[in-house]
Amino acid sequence: MPIVFVHGVGTRAGDAYSKAVNARTALIHSFLLRPLGLDPRAVSFWNPYWGGNAAAFAWNYASLPGDREEKFGPSEALLALLLGEVWEGELPASDQVVLEVARRSMTDAVDLLWAVAAERVDEAAEVGELADLAVRATSLARAEPAPPWLNTIKSDKEFLNRLSKELTPVAPAATEESFGGPNRAFLRIREGLGRIQGAAGRLAGSVAVDLLRPSVNRSVSTFLGDIFVYLRQRESLGANAAIAKCVADGLEQAASARNADDSQLVVIAHSMGGNITYDLLSKLRTDLSCDVLVTVGSQVGVFAELGLFESVKPPTNPATDRVPKLPNVGRWINVFDPNDILGFATEGIFDGVKDYQYSTGKGAFAAHSTYFVRPSFYDRLAAHLNEAV
């Protein structure tokens, strides 16, 4: 089953990008492929990277109104975003951050610990171990969202020790000094906890959303810039434009990996990646196809309403008219968080698509940017993908 992932706006090459690809691939292996009975080693992945052909800011973001990001460096952007969205006001004591998250939602606690731990991992095998641990932890959180033992826990370290005991009941509980023993995944989780607590200490007494505003300004600027660059390229060069060609090449290469025993081609497209993919399949490269299209936090619906797809004609009667199903797409799943201000529904516009809500309860900043770092997202997606392939 060849799988293509088309990234969204604001994605740029570098160490963080490479780690994100490894982490995402590991979660797809553990949550999506193994439940389908597929050997992850036999599944080919394509990650067409188009960010290098997208927006570049000539004055290095001098147009932004100010820079107040001194408390968090670029390498901690994800951590700041996750913490900022977990707490609308002041953070709790720094040794109880994850514990308080768990008391609100065990699933959120698992997502936070995994995302922060995986961010520092380079080796694919190690991030795979983390993903396998995430499957077990997510299953535990789903089965028992508010375990009674949480009421007896006093600190984050106690929480991790108890969590390790719940996940490995036949082994002795990990001590504070040797949490997880030789298990690299548990050791990474412990290291991630230290980073979470350190970040919480720097945020203490601050309203987290205020610290996020500068990074949000930059994200919105890049979001708009990448869209404008794509549309300008498409207007001039059509299917031969740099961004369109990059994604089309990825789809074409993945299609060539199909065979009689493994004919299903799955495309997962985030944000602007969904718009680019739809544009290709509906107009620019109708010779391409996929068996399952999954758009996540995407703007395909609003692009259609604004007339930004040549293939989509305005309705005569919006109440009943729908854009016909694409003949070169087998099944289309559209996923969005209702809190994601950049994710839109599609069923009221297109035929042949099914909308699914993935509700994190988080604010707009994290809702759009963190779908693919949350194990709980893959856990939900697995059920829908299982129906589609």
Long-range contacts of 18-23 (CB under 8 A, 24+ apart): 18/122, 19/118, 19/119, 19/120, 19/121, 19/122, 19/127, 20/372, 20/373, 21/47, 22/121, 22/122, 22/124, 22/127, 23/118, 23/119, 23/121, 23/127, 23/130, 23/131, 23/373
As a whole number, mean pLDDT of residues 266-275 equals 98
Mean pLDDT of 250-260: 92
What pLDDT is recorded for position 68?
A: 47
User: Rounded mean pLDDT of 76-86?
Assistant: 61
Dihedral over alpha carbons 281, 284, 286, 289 (to 10 degrees):
-40
Higher pLDDT, 389 or 298: 298
Find the mean pLDDT for residues 15-22.
93
Which tens digits make up the pLDDT trace of 311-349? 999 999 999 999 999 999 999 999 999 989 899 999 999
Provide the pLDDT for residue 183: 74
User: Nearest to residue 2, comparing CAs of 44, 51, 33, 54?
Assistant: 44
- Report whether pLDDT(385) > 70: yes
Q: Is the pLDDT of residue 227 over 90?
A: yes
Return the pLDDT at 171.
Answer: 41
Top-confidence residue, 305 or 218: 305
> Where in the chain is CATH 3.40.50.1820?
3-58+211-388
For 97-112, what is the mean pLDDT?
Answer: 91
On the question of pLDDT at 182 being above 50, the answer is no
The CATH classification number of 3-58+211-388 equals 3.40.50.1820
Token code pair at residue 31: 């949550």
186 confidence band (pLDDT: 50, 70, 90): confident
Convert 352-385 to b/e letters by CB count within 10 Å (16 or more is b).
bbebeebebebbebbbbbbbbbbbbbbbbbbebb
Predicted pLDDT at 136: 93
Burial class (CB in 10 A: 0-12, 13-18, 19+), 40: middle
Q: What is the pTM of this model?
A: 0.87
Q: What is the mean pLDDT of residues 233-247?
A: 98
| Better pLDDT: 265 or 260 | 265
Q: What is the mean pLDDT of residues 227-241?
A: 97
Residue type, position 287, single letter: D
